[in-house]
Every structure is written in structure tokens, then in C-alpha cells.
Structure 1
Amino acid sequence: MATKLKSSKVLRFISVVILTVSLILLAFMGVYTIKNYDSVKSQNFYETNKFKNPFNDLNFAIIDSFTIYKSEQEVKEPINSQEEYLKANIKNNSQGYNNSLSVINRYPNIKYIIEDTSEDRLNTNIENDLNEETIANLKNESDFYLILNTQNKNVLESADSNFTKEQLKNIINNDSFNYKNTENKNLKISYFVPKSFIYDDEISLGKENYNKLKSKALVEKTIVLSGVLVALSLLALIYLNIQRKNKNKDKGILERIYSRIYIEFQLIILCIGLVSIIITSYESLKEPVYTILLGIAMIGTYYLMAFTYGSIIELKGLGVKEFFRRKSLIYKIINWVKKIIRRIVEEVFLIKSTGIKISIFLILSFIFMISMLSLRGSSDFITLILVIYILTYIISVISYVVKSANYLNKIVVGSFKIANGDLNYVIDEGGKGILKELSHNINNMKSGLKDSIDSEIKSEKMKTELITNVSHDLKTPLTSIITYVDLIKNEDLTKEERMDYIKVLERKSERLKILIEDLFEASKAASGEVELNIEKVDITSLLKQALAEFEEKIKESSLDFKINLPKEKLYIMVDGKKTWRILENQISNALKYSLKNTRVYINIEDIDNKVVITIKNISAFEIDFNEDEILERFKRGDKSRNTEGSGLGLAISNNLTKLQGGYFRVSVDGDLFKVIIEFPKI
């Protein structure tokens, strides 16, 4: 496996090298072909720009030197009606004259004759005497010659060739005949291009290069080499693409780095690669050395395209939204901006009225700014309206800010007083808007704090009372136990007396045990740490069972129990044992604290889809406590605490009822004591 992977990497490297070299060579050949395209398509060297461009330059220079400057002597000593003006420009004329001579001397192979028949003046670079024989010899020795007339812009005579007269005219750029100096002159210009060049100049080198390009062998070699390079490039590309499509292939380090770049930057880098191809292509037309850079740019851009395509192809697997969420910087920026805007809107409109006011203020401020900018250049009427708006805006804003600041100061002063302990201080709520809400909330917080402090004070008082009551209730049976234990130790006791003392000890111990068990149960019920076994229970049957448990005690008492139960079964979802304990506590309290020879009423009713249990009795003790106090732990109607009650029954019942989703309350009317228990009916 390792050998196969290594071999694959070697082949990939070779493919990259082949592709790189092939693209560079193809780029070089392409640039060379484009650069010499004019020569390739032309049937004759004299149709090419390599002849026409220098020929036009020469034509311009010859006409300039002959019509403008005429001769070096006339440049230095101008004779004209504007002699003084021309003398001031001798320097410029000399430079132009020298430039024209420089161009003419650049093409020594081309012989020329320019003459003005109206002035009987001519100029030439032919050393021999100009006669018919000399002209005839020049024509015979020339590969190409032209004799032109500037007045009617016509070709007077040319070498025998495939050119038509129109084609010959196009060899000379028409701009050559547009000089003001030639408009009223009858110039005759003759050019002779020899068959064999003596000097090496731009035209001779161009013709040599043209002949090479037109060589059949070079064309065949170029075609073959191009075909081979194209074939190699295609094979390398096919192999590399196959490798890229291989899902089991790990990405290279460069591709892994590139794939982590945001897709926008990938596209920008790819565009840079494409632009570099265009630039190097253009530059390579001027300098062949840029062809190497062109090839490098092409291979680099190919890999950029491949890497970018690899990133875009992930779109199929990820989906559009997830792709842009992971890959797009613009998407992240838009999301970030949306979050910022959403957060600003949420914070501004957290209180709707405040958000509306801020929005109105921003709109009015924008109009104010536009008004200020529009004052200049406006008509008198528009200016008056804008000034009125600006003054109204300024007065309104200042008035609103002053009022708000004044009211805010009152709120701050009030909050300081409340923070320093003055809980009776009330902040004025006469303001408007959010500040009024703020003052109202601070007053509510103050009231809540005051209630909390009162509750804490009450709680501390209750804790003290609880400790006192618990101590008293535990101490009473414990003291009795200690006393009777000391009595039993007396050896002079009779057996009957000792047995009586033991019964008292047993009774007091049982009382202490019940008290401790009730205390634990009350603590568990208050903390909610009671395990409930919720089930469907018939409350009527459960109450009958509880009454049956107390049947003997009820008969022994002087109380008359009036029971009113429905005939049908009433079901509730509760814990049967815990609910039985609630009912037991109420029946037990009725037996303990009811006035003798009075009635106890126990009813069960079905009211508004609720099961309502009511126990009413006349208290044997004066009821001088409120309804909430009696539900506290160790609170008893018998304040002297001479009865057997622990003061935990109602507290336990209240907590157990609430834990089971019920409602427990106590109602007092004179000496009438009433307990109401409610459970949802099923």
C-alpha cells in the first residue's frame, strides 16, 4: 500500500512537471505566433507591418526634412517675414531636423529621391548621378520600388508584383500625405528597396525573419511540436483530474491551506491569476522573456482553478446555506451585522415606548440636519419654514431634556434615601414614560424590601417561639419521666405503686416518641422531601376508614359528630397514606380542642370539579389568633399548652396537602373553627 501511494505521488509530480513545461512552451510558441501573426498571414514581406511601419517612419522623416526644414543652413539662418520669431525657435527646429535625419539614417538600405517640381529642388541618398540609366539600374536591382505623387496621392510607378494599385497605396499610410506643407506642392517621391541588403537594419532583419517563418520545414516542425505538447498537456491534465476525483486521496498541504481561505478570497486570487495571464501575454508580445512568466501564470492559475473548484464542489455535500456559513466571509459579515442590528433593536425596543421615542428623535434629528444644510441657497419662504422648524426642534429638545433631567434627579435622590434605610420614603410617580415606570418599580422594590425585612423579623420571632415551644413540649414529658424514674428508685414502694409509676413512664415515653416523630414529619413535609405514591383514591371511603379508627374515642367523648358524605364515589389522585394522615389530624384536633357537648360537622362535596372536605367545630378555647398563625409549627389553640397536642398537626396537614397539589386553609368565625381541604377531582 505504501509503495503504491509513493508511486502515485511520483506520477503526480511527473505530470505536474510535464504540464508546466508543456504550457510554458505552448505559451512561448503562441506568443511568438501572435507576435509574428502579421508575417504569417501575409503573402509578401512588403505587406507586413515589419516593412510598412519603418517605411512610414522613413516617409514622414523624408517629407519633414524636405518640406519643413529643407536644409541645415535654412534651419540655422531662416529667411522669412517672421525672421525674428523663427530665430527664437532655432533650437526646436534644429532638434526636429536632427530627428528626421536620424530616422533617415536608420534605414540606409532604402534609396530615395524626393523632388519638388514647382521649385526645381530635390534631395536623395543616392551617390551616383541621377540620370535615366541610374534610375533604370536601381529599378532592376530593386526587389520592390515605388514612385509616388503627393499632389494627387497616386502611385505613378511600381515594381512588377502581385500588388494592385490600391494595395500599393495602403503600403504608405494615408497620414503621410496630410502634412500642411504638401498641400500646395507637387512632390514626387521614389523609393527603391534592393534585392540584397548591404546593411543590417530593421527592414533587413524583418525580411530575414519573414523568410524563416515562411520556411516549410519550420512550419512542419512547429505543427508537430505543438501537437506533441498539446497531447502531453491533455494526458497530464486527465491524469491529475483522475487523481483529484479519487475520494480516498488526501488533499495536499497547499490545497488544505487554500481550502481554509474564504471563498471570496479564493475567487479574488483566481481573478489575479487570470489577470496575470493577460498581462504576461501582453508583455510577452514585447519581450519574449515574459513567455516563461506566462507559462508559470498559466500553470498556477490552473491549480487555483482546480483548488477553487474543489471548494465549490463542497456545495453539493453541504448545501447552499451551510456552505456559505462555513466558507463565505461576506455571509459571516452580514450575519454579524444582522446580529448587531438585532441586538440594537432589541435593546432599544426592550421597552416599546422608549424605542418609539428614540426612533422619532432620530427622524427629527435627521430632518434637523437636512434643514441646516438646506438653509443656504433656499428661497425666503423655504428659509422661514426651515428656521421655524429648527427653532421648534431646539426648544422642544431642550425642554424635554430639562424636564427629564429634573425628574431623573428626583428619582436618584429618592433611591439614595431608600438605599440609606428610609423605607417609608415614596418617590413621586408624576412623571411620564420610562422614568415614571422606573420610579414606580423603585417604589415597588422598596415595598418588597420592607415586606422582606418584616418577614425576616417575623421569621426570627417565629424561630424564637418555635424553640421555646419545642423546648416546652419536649421538656414536659421528659421532666415527668425523670421524676418517675427517681420515684421508682425508692425501695419502700409497694409493687402496686411501682407498677403505676411504670405505666406513667410508659405513657410519657410514648408521648415523647409521638412528639419527636411529628417533629421529623413536619420538617420533611415543609422541605418537600417526602416520597409520594400517587394513586387513584376514593376520598369518601378513606374518610370512613379514618372515622372508624376514632370510633371508640368519638363514643367516649361528649361530642356529636355529624357526617355528610355523598353516596357516589369521589376519586382523587393522591398518596393514600399521606391523605389518611391529613384526615386523622383533623379528626384528632376536633376531639382534643372542641367544646364539650357540641357538634362536629364533617362534609365532603363535589364543587366545580373539585372535592371539598370541610371539618367544623366549636373551639373549647378562646380563638385569639389569626388564620395564618395557627398553620405555623407548634402553634396551638391552647396557649397554656396543657392539652396533649403537639401543635404540628395543622402544619403537617397543610404541607402534605400542597405537596399533593391540593389546597388547605383555616377559617375562623368567633369560636367556630373550620378547616377546608380541596383536591382536584378525576
Structure 2
Amino acid sequence: MDIKLKKYSHSITTKIIVFMIMITCFTGVIKAFVDVEEVNGGDLGIVFEENYFLSQAYVRETESIVSNLTRLLGEYKSEEHILNGGSITEEELRAEEDPLFSDFMYQSKSYNPNASEAENYEKFKTEYADKIAKARDRLIKNDLREYHLLVQSLEEVEAPMYYASDGVNEYTNTSTARERFKTYPSYMMFEEYKRDIYPKEIIENEHFYWISERIDELDPEGHVVSIAFTKGFLDEKIEEWKENKVIIKAVFYRLLAFLTGFIFSFVYLVLVTGRKSFKDEELRMHAVDKLYVDLNILLGMGLLIIWVVMLDEFTSPNIEKMVIPITIPIAAAVFVLILSLVKHFKNGTFFRHTFIYRMFSRLFQFVKNVYDSGSVGVKTVLIVIGYPIVVVATFFIFPITLGLAAWIAFRRVKSFQAIKEGVEKIKDGDIHHTIDVGGKGEFARLAANINSITDGLNKAVDSELKSERLKTELITNVSHDIRTPLTSIITYVDLLKKEKLPLKAEEYVEVLDQKSKRLKILTDDLFEAAKASSGSIPVQLERIDIVSLITQGLGEVSDKIEDYDLAFKFNYPKEKVYVAADGKLLWRSIENVLSNIFKYALKGSRVYIDVEDLGSEVLLTFKNISAYELNISADELMERFKRGDESRTSQGSGLGLSIAESLIDIQKGKFTIQVDGDLFKSMITLPKYN
């Protein structure tokens, strides 16, 4: 029995030797790939290439020249053609004109929103002629620079010989007549629809499509492209290709050998790691296995990144010398971590031995202990707050947490269902319904409490409605009562300003004037907010062209836009978009949003207005960058008297957005806001007019 066990045993020495073989083979694989990259640009396909004319190297010699020639003939033609603007496409010119046209729309007084786009564009071309000309000159200079770079690149080519022409312009590096190209041992001649290639086997080259695609970009009519290889040049390249093939072939066999050794040694270590023999069922853990699995993975990924960065730092030719000393230690560390992961997988602790699992396992145990010993209130808080936190934190194992929650809830699901159905009946108006779950316990007490709150619920609802009505009436009445004396104050302040007063008295009067007007604005906003929230404002829905409404409105506030140095960008569908709304109330809502932008937007920033057709609805979005740090949520900003600047140094009342929301609600729309850092978005959704 001892002899048999000894036969299948795997000593530490054997494992270390196999591990060293694996690291050596892995390093050999990496070194082989580096050698291929250095010798032949990473192309292992040369091993399977039959001759030079079927090689990637042959096509590569030709493709760059053909690419430059086709660009010259098809795109640039000649320097004169470029200077005349012939190389500029409509798309390129339009891309330069679009930003200028946007400036014209929002800054020029010549722009007429009621005119057609063609009419406005003609005015734009006249008014912005100088800027358009500069943009055109810039495109010409760019094309001219690219043209000279291509010509210079071709002038440096001594071999192979080339000739290209479109019937007017010619590019060649030889005085030899093109007809003599056929006397050379290899050539390619493309003339209109004809192709003459020698040797014929070149067409079978799997990379020949690189050249074909370039030629196909040209208009066949009148274009000629010819390439010819001299015998001396061809012999040199063939010899170079043969030498590279011999080298790469040797590297390829070396790569196969190292790859085979790596696979066998790695598979062996995967099978025996953690065990002394194949029959040994007990896994033996070591110090490195105490590292949590998730931290192990992060560490391994970090080492791989370091390896890539270090190899990238040592450029050719140093990389050939440095790849082995860099790869060996990092590969050894990474594979030690990988084998540790294999151990945990065999041991069934791959997930249980993670830092996240351990942390949440202890947290769950703590919560369970508190739950088991706590009151109903403690249990409810733990369930309502704790479970969503656990779900969010363990989203990658969500099915497990969901199953656990389902198992806990299943024990009392019948009682819960009875309470749920009873609450539904009470909610639907059956206030005399009695919930009966039977027995004793938490759900029984809950059912009894629900049965006893029906009367109290009716009283609470009536009391709340009365309280809300009284508050609205109070705000309305107080606002109305304040208006009369406030009007008198403003009138007398205006009279005082016309009198000759001492300098100090004038300063006091100026302060009174500012504060009284500020109070008037606040009173008006308060009165309007009360009316809007009460729903007493009459609404007359009609067909509204939302784009025209906003365009005209922006024209009315153009002075404010200039004062605050804001750039408005208005995006809308090409087709007309109509909404069902009350024109006055809708503009009042939009005006409140714009007023909010003027008060709180960062000066010199852009404001985006987007109109989107959502089918049955139309979405109007306003986006701006806030001048104040927004440390509050969107829900808080929608509250009355809540302002974006916590210091309350701006002139806002905090009612604008609340009024806008109420006005949109009574038009059967929806008003929402979003805060993303300093980006503030106001969104109005209205029913589309059909």
C-alpha cells in the first residue's frame, strides 16, 4: 500500500520543478512573440506563405505607394486644383459653416425666425462672407499641406517604379515609358477597367484586396496607375523575405514547443495543487492562500498591468533583452496567485473566501442577532433599510439575496396576503371591512390596528383638506392685503426720490426703493403660487407651435441673454411640433424657467434648449451650468422658497419652479428637474396636439 501511494505522490520538489518549467515555457512563448514582432511585424503567416508573390510583404511594398497615388489622383489632383478649392467637399465646408450659422442665429439681428431656412442662409452667407472665406482658406491650406507631404513621400521612393495619371496630372519616379513596365519581372498596371498583373499568382494573394480597394476608389474613366519592380530590387526583397521566413519558422517551432510545455505543466499543476497525490482528498492551504480571492484577483490584474507598462517602456531593441528578466518574476507571482484561486475552487471556498462575502456575512449575522432579539420596530427598520442596502452592495449575487428574502417571507406570506387584500378593500372605499388573520402575533396585532384606524383615517383626511384649504386662503388673503399698503409705499418712495433730499436721506430712500420692489415681486410670486396650487386658474387648451413660442420668447429676452453673456443653443425637429396647452400659462412656465436660468446660470456658459417628439408627448428640456454649487437634491429644489444658493444672496424668491410645476400640472403636463453636479436640467412634458 505504501509503495502504491509513493508511486502517485507529488512531492514539493516535483511541483517546484514543474512550476519552474511552466514559467520558463511561458516566458519562452512571450519571447517568441516578441521576436516575431521585431523580425516581421508580428506576422506569423509568413511561415505558411509559398513564395514572395503570395506574401504580405509583397503587397505591403506596393500598397503604401498605391494609396498615396490614388489620394493624389482622386482627392487632390494638383496644387492648382487645391488652390481653386476643388479638393474641398461640401461636407467639409458645411462642417465649418455650421458653427458660424449657429452664431448668426443667436447673435445677428438679421436672423428672422419667421423666414425660411433658405432665406436666412442667404443672409448668413452675405453677412459672414469674410469668416466663411477664412474657413475655406483654412481647409485649402490643410489640403495643400497634405498634398505636399504625399508628393514628398512619393519623391523619396526610388523603387519600385510607379506611374499614375488622370489624363491631366501625372506622377512618376522614372523617365522610362510606361509601356516598358511590362518588360520587368513583376508589374501591376491598372488602366480604366483593365488590370494587367504579372505574375498572375499575385491575384491569388489573400492580401491583394488592400490594393484593389485603393484602385476601386478612383473613377475608372481616364485613370492609369502602374507599378513595376526591377530585377535587382525584386531579388533583394525576395532574399530578405526568405531570410525572414527561415527566422520566423524557427521561432514558430520554438513557440509551439514552449506552448506545449506550458500547457502540459500548467494542467499538471492545476490537477495536483493543494494535494500530495491524486487520491488525496484533503487540500493543504499555505500562507498565500489566506489572501482573499477578490483581493487575489485585483493583485494579479495589477501585476499584469505593471508587466505591460514595463514592456512598453523598453522600446526596441532593448525589449529583446528585457522581456525575460521582466516576465519571469511577474509571471511567477501571477501564476502563484492563479494556483491559489484553483485551490479555493477545488475546496469550494472560491466565493466564501472573498473579502466582500466575509464582510457581508458578519454584517448579516450581526443584523440577524439584532433582529432575533429586537422589537417589531427594530425588525421593521432592519428589513426596510437593511435589505435594499444588501441588494445594492451584492448586486452580482442578487439571486442569492432574493432567494434568502423569499425564504424568510414565505413563513408568514399568508397572513401578509390577508392584510394586503383587506387594505386594498379599505382603500377602494369599503371602510367597514374587517381584516381577520387569526391567531396571535405581530401580523394579528397589525390587522387589529388597521381595523381600528378607519374612523381616524376619515377624520385625518378631512382635517388635512381643511388645513390645506385654510393655508391657501391665508396666503392668498395675506398677499392681497399686503399689496395695497405696499403699492402706497412704492408710490411714496417714488415721490421722495423726486424731492431734493440730503445725500444720506437719498441713500436711505434708494434702499427703501430696492427693498419695496423686492417685496412686491415676492408678494406677487406668493399670490401666483397660491392661485396655481389651488387649481383655480382657468385653462384654455389650444394648438401651440412650441418651437415658434420658444423662438419668439428668446427674442423677447435677448437683452437679458446678452447681459448675462449666455449662449443659447436651440435644437428642435425639422417638422412642426404642436402641443395641447394654454399659450399664456405655458409661456409663464417657460418664462419662470428662463428667469431661473438668468438668476443662477454661470455667466459666459451655454444654455441648451431641446425639443423632442416622443410620439404622444413632447419633451422640452432646458440645460444650464449653475453658478452655485448644488448640494441639494432635485426634490428639495422643487419645494417652495427653496433656492439654489444656500447663502440666499441672489434675487430669487424660491417660488419660480414651484409655480411652473403647478401651471404645467393644470395643463395636464409634467414638470421635473434633474441635478447632475453643476448641470441643472428642467424638463417639461406636454401632451402632443393631434
Whether TM exceeds 0.5 here: the answer is no
Q: Normalising by structure 2, report the TM-score.
A: 0.38
Greater relative contact order (CA < 8 Å, ≥ 6 in sequence): 2
Q: Normalising by structure 1, report the TM-score.
A: 0.38
| Bigger CA radius of gyration | 1
